[in-house]
């Protein structure tokens, strides 16, 4: 049986992951409107990943015979003036999600909930990758984004990203 605090935090994480998917769909819309289909594709794939992350938390709670409580998903409300603003918002959001997962891990650790800690291990590693990817996007934009040819090539690189479902086994 899950500790009440851990259970609540896991339920909240489902909502945060679905919000992440909405946020990245919003980023995809921004880049599509700017004519950067590769960037739009990259964030569309990112949205699919976040949706699957939410479903992993959902399934974990169900497998633990714990109640899943679905809350309303907030609407992304930022208006961006520059491509770099979107990329920086993406990094800030990933740092927020990392902190949230770390909070769940700490709560599970406090009550010696090793099963939940083991489940979260994959997400801890995943968040490291997510922050690295967000940082890499910023670095590449700083290096190539002000040059139209460089931006074109970066856009082409991002267009090649394809969705791969997470390999976490519950």
User: 94 with 134: CB under 8 angstroms?
Assistant: yes
Go through 46-70 and write b for each residue having 16 or more CB atoms within 10 A of its CB, e for each that does not. Answer: bbbbbbbbbebbbebbeebebeeee
Q: At what angle do helices 148-159 and 114-144 cross, to 10 degrees?
A: 150
Helix (H, G, I), strand (E, B) or coil at 16: helix
Residue 164 predicted with pLDDT over 90: no
Q: Per-residue pLDDT averaged across 125-138, rounded?
A: 97
Go through 122-161 and write b for each residue having 16 or more CB atoms within 10 A of its CB, e for each that does not. Answer: bbeebbeebbeebeebeebbeebbeeeeebeebbeebeee
Give the count of alpha carbons within 13 A of 62, CB side only.
9
pLDDT tens digits for range 34-81: 999 999 999 999 999 999 999 999 999 999 999 999 999 999 999 999
Distance CA 33, CA 40 (A): 9
Domains and CATH numbers, the chain: 4-159 (1.20.1260.10)
Taking the model in full, what pTM does it have?
0.94
Q: What is the pLDDT of residue 96?
A: 98
Residue 168 predicted with pLDDT over 70: no
């Amino acid at each position: 049986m899950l500790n009440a605090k851990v259970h609540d935090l896991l339920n909240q994480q489902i909502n945060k992951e679905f919000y992440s998917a909405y946020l990245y769909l919003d980023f995809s819309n921004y880049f599509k409107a700017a004519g950067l289909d590769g960037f739009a594709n990259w964030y569309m794939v990112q949205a699919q990943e976040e949706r699957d992350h939410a479903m992993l938390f959902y399934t974990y709670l169900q497998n633990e015979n714990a109640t899943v409580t679905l809350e309303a998903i907030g609407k992304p409300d930022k208006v961006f003036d520059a491509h770099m603003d979107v990329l920086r918002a993406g990094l800030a959001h990933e740092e927020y999600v990392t902190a949230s997962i770390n909070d769940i891990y700490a709560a599970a650790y406090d009550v010696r909930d090793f099963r939940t800690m083991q489940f979260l291990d994959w997400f801890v590693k995943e968040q490291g990758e997510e922050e690295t990817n967000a940082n890499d996007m910023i670095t590449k934009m700083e290096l190539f984004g002000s040059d139209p040819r460089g931006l074109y090539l970066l856009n082409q690189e991002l267009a090649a990203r394809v969705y791969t479902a997470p390999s976490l086994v519950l």
